[in-house]
Amino acid sequence: MKLIVLIIFLVINFTGLFIGALYTGEGVGSEWYQDLNKAPWTPPGWFFGVAWTTIMICFSLYMTKLIKVSKRTSYVLLLFVILWMLNVIWNPVFFYWQDAVIGLTVITLLTILIGGMLFLNRRAIKSWSLLLLPYFVWLCVATSLNLFIVIYN
């Protein structure tokens, strides 16, 4: 049962990345993105794929554990759906519609919700909470990159 839940979360999370990628187009290689003033701490393009792959594996493991121990499964699943939608919508907002301000709003909300999830569930799943740290840290970095673009472009 636990393996099935993990596989379901992996499929859903990687499907979200795939949908987001469809709307990214050329993404970091696009002329629009290349012409932006970007933060000096912007990682190279290849890093984004590595980061998101790692994050989604860790997040799927985290969600599998949280669903197993939670007494409020429907609340956890609703939050997961909201997080998934925010994660998916950022790519079209930022890359397809090229709207860094709304993108910043989306990623800031996602960062706050992941941070809240990390904080609120730390006692329930103890050291398993460490699996959510890569997501939260990456979102903090990504939010700062998006903010830099909003300020300097």
- Cα pseudo-dihedral 26, 27, 28, 34, rounded to 10: 70
Contact residues for 11 (Cβ-Cβ < 8 A; gap 6+): none
**Cα–Cα distance measured from residue 101 to residue 104, given in angstroms and rounded to the nearest whole number:** 5
| Tens-binned pLDDT, residue by residue, of the chain (153 aa) | 699 999 999 999 999 999 988 887 777 778 999 999 999 999 988 898 899 999 999 999 999 999 999 989 999 999 999 999 999 999 999 999 999 999 999 999 999 999 999 999 988 899 999 999 999 999 999 999 999 999 999
**Cα–Cα distance measured from residue 137 to residue 153, given in angstroms and rounded to the nearest whole number:** 24
Contact residues for 13 (Cβ-Cβ < 8 A; gap 6+): 56, 59, 60, 84
**Whole-number Cα distances in Å, 119 to 111, 112, 122, 130:** 12, 10, 6, 11
- Specify the pLDDT at position 127: 94
**Cα–Cα distance measured from residue 39 to residue 53, given in angstroms and rounded to the nearest whole number:** 23
- Specify the pLDDT at position 1: 66
**Cα–Cα distance measured from residue 66 to residue 77, given in angstroms and rounded to the nearest whole number:** 10
CATH topology of domain 2-152: Ferritin (1.20.1260)
- Specify the pLDDT at position 84: 98
